[in-house]
């Protein structure tokens, strides 16, 4: 059972103290039901009044995976792992999570296999997702409570993309609303009726008729980078949905290359760079 440890810094109810630490009402309810709370080594209720210097332990409940998940044994490229998080490099042509078209052999099932092998009593929760054809960094937490905490955390994500054409500007912002395409349930398009979307790009290299871009997302719309680059006339190489069919590549050359954020437990700055990356 995973345990959080804190020191009280002032007099307040234990419940209020835990809310201040980012523990949601839903999580606290689960802890009361299947976990445990201790103050100075003794069982405590949420109505316990803390005094400055009290030592608080929160024992998180164990978790059981959904019966729809089948642990999947592949070699994971683990970029970072501790008791709370696991960050991996996803290859292209694998789903982050099961879908109707690909119900198994997903990345989350591979992480579940890894955690089962290490006899962890919790399950992976997806923090960041990538399209099936996009490679790169994916963040998982090892408990629902941490997933809630990460949802409140600012995560800076940077991508690499190889695109068609020679991009003329060294950098630029693409600010264009994105909506579901009228003719498709999958495809998105730039539309005045869409939701605000903002992508920033930098030109890193050019060769022949292709450009290598570094991109940062300021919003998280479905297919945002692919739609925005198509919108400015530089479709991603290998992107058959927003570009053209190419036999040389079975997926778009788009990769989540760097993530950075503050660890919700240790408060350390985490900087992760994928050890494999695109280049011209």
Residue 279's pLDDT band (cuts 50, 70, 90): confident
Percent of the chain at pLDDT exceeding 70: 99
Alpha helices in 99-257 (DSSP H): 107-117, 144-151, 224-231
Q: What is the pLDDT of residue 162?
A: 96
Distance CA 155, CA 89 (A): 16
Cβ–Cβ contacts within 10 Å for residue 202, how many? 15
> Span 70-81, mean pLDDT?
96
Distance CA 178, CA 197 (A): 6
Residues 221-259: tens digit of each pLDDT: 999 999 999 999 999 999 999 987 677 888 999 999 999
> Span 81-87, mean pLDDT?
97
Residue 99's pLDDT band (cuts 50, 70, 90): confident
Distance CA 150, CA 146 (A): 6
Q: Which of 54, 131, 239, 274 is catalytic?
A: 131
The three-class DSSP label of residue 226 is helix
Query: How does the average pLDDT of the chain come out, rounded?
Result: 94
Residues 180-223: tens digit of each pLDDT: 998 898 999 999 999 999 999 999 999 999 999 999 999 999 99
Distance CA 39, CA 50 (A): 8
Q: Which long-range contacts (CB under 8 A, 24 or more apart) does 178-181 make?
A: 178/221, 178/222, 178/223, 178/224, 178/227, 178/228
Q: What is the pLDDT of residue 166?
A: 97
Residues 19-71: tens digit of each pLDDT: 999 998 989 999 999 999 999 999 999 999 999 999 999 999 999 999 999 99
> Span 130-146, mean pLDDT?
96
Q: Is the pLDDT of residue 101 over 80?
A: yes
20 is catalytic: no
Instruction: Find, among 178, 179, 243, 181, the residue nearest to 210 by Cα.
Output: 243
Q: What is the pLDDT of residue 244?
A: 74
* Greatest C-alpha distance within the chain: 69
Bridge-partner residues for 249, per DSSP? none
Segments of the chain assigned E as strands: 3-7, 12-13, 36-39, 42-43, 49-50, 55-59, 77-81, 85-90, 125-126, 135-141, 156-164, 171-175, 178-180, 188-190, 198-207, 210-217, 254-262, 269-273
Q: What is the pTM of this model?
A: 0.92
């Amino acid at each position: 059972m995973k345990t959080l440890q804190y020191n009280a810094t002032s007099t307040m109810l234990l419940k209020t103290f835990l809310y201040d630490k980012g523990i949601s009402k839903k999580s606290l309810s689960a802890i009361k039901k299947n976990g445990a709370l201790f103050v100075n080594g003794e069982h405590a209720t949420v109505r316990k009044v803390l005094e400055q210097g009290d030592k608080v332990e929160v024992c998180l409940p164990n978790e059981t995976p959904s019966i729809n998940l089948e642990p999947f044994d592949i070699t994971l490229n683990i970029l970072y792992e501790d008791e709370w998080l696991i960050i991996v490099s996803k290859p292209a042509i694998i789903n982050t999570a099961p879908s109707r078209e690909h119900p198994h052999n997903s990345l989350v099932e591979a992480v579940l296999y890894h955690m089962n092998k290490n006899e962890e009593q919790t399950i992976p929760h997806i923090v960041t997702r990538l399209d099936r054809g996009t490679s790169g960094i994916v963040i998982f937490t090892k408990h629902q409570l941490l997933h809630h905490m990460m949802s409140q955390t600012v995560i800076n994500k940077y991508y690499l993309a190889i695109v068609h054409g020679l991009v003329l500007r060294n950098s630029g912002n693409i600010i264009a609303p994105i909506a579901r395409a009228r003719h498709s349930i999958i495809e998105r398009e730039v539309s005045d009726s869409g939701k605000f979307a903002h992508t920033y790009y930098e030109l890193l290299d050019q060769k022949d008729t292709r450009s290598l871009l570094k991109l940062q997302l300021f919003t998280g719309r479905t297919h945002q980078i692919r739609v925005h680059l198509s919108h400015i006339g530089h479709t991603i190489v290998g992107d058959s949905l927003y570009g053209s069919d190419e036999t040389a590549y079975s997926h778009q050359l788009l990769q989540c290359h760097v993530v950075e954020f503050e660890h919700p437990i240790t408060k350390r700055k985490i900087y992760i760079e994928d050890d494999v990356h695109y280049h011209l």
